[in-house]
Structure 1
Amino acid sequence: MPGGSSWRSPSTADQYRDHDYADFAQEFLHRNADYRRDYADTQERIARFPSVEHHEKEGLSRRWGLSFPHRSASKRPRVPGTLVAQRIAGRDHRRNC
C-alpha cells in the first residue's frame, strides 16, 4: 500500500498490541462512511430537538449494535474530598467542645 504501513509490519503490530475488540470496533466505525453519516444525522436531529437526545442515541446504538456497559451515571466531574473535609472539620469541632 503506497504511503501507508502494512497491517503485517512489526511497527503496526506494536501500535495495536494493546487494543481489545472494542478498540478495533471503534476504529472500524470511525472509518465507516455509513456510520459517520448516521452519527452526523443523529447529532443534527438532537441539535434541532434536544428533547429527543436519549431516543436518538438509543436508536443509533441499536442500529450499529453498540452497548455502553460502563457508562457513568453522571457527566459532572466529581470533586473528591469536599464532603470528607467537611465531615472531618465537623468532627474536630465536636471534639473541641
Structure 2
Amino acid sequence: MSGEGSWRSADYAERFKTHDHADFAQEFLCRNPDYAREYSQAEQRALDDPAKAQEEREGLARRWGLSFPLRSDQIGEG
C-alpha cells in the first residue's frame, strides 16, 4: 500500500473519527469478494424474477447478518 500511509497516522484518525461500527462494517463488506459475488448473484436473480426480489434481498441480508432500519416513508407498510 505504498503512498497510502499508515492506518495509525493522525491523518487516518482524523479522516475516520466520525465513522461508527456500521460504517466500518459496510466498508469491510464492500471489499469482501465473497459478499460482492453473492450480492451480484442475488441482484441478478431479483432482476430475473421481480416477484422474488424482496425474498432474494432478505435472504442475502439474513445470510450476512445485515439489518436495515426502515425509512420513514416505509413505516406502516406491510
Give TM class, smaller chain. 0.7 to 0.9
Task: Give the root-mean-square deviation of aligned CA atoms.
Answer: 1.2
- Structure 2: which amino acid aligns with 1:21? H
TM value normalised by structure 1: 0.71
Distance in 2, matches of 1:66 and 1:5, equals 31
Aligned length: 73
Structure having greater relative contact order (Cα 8 Å, sep ≥ 6): 2
Question: For structure 2, which runs of at least 5 residues remain unmatched after alignment?
Answer: none
2:50 matched residue in structure 1:
50
Structure 1 stretches of at least 4 aligned residues deviating more than 4 Å after TM superposition: none
2:14 matched residue in structure 1:
14
2:5 matched residue in structure 1:
5
Q: Percent identity?
A: 49
Distance in 2, matches of 1:46 and 1:5, equals 40
Give the greater-gyration-radius structure (CA). Answer: 1
TM value normalised by structure 2: 0.87
Question: For structure 1, which runs of at least 5 residues remain unmatched after alignment?
Answer: 75-97
Deviation at 1:3, TM superposition (A): 2.6
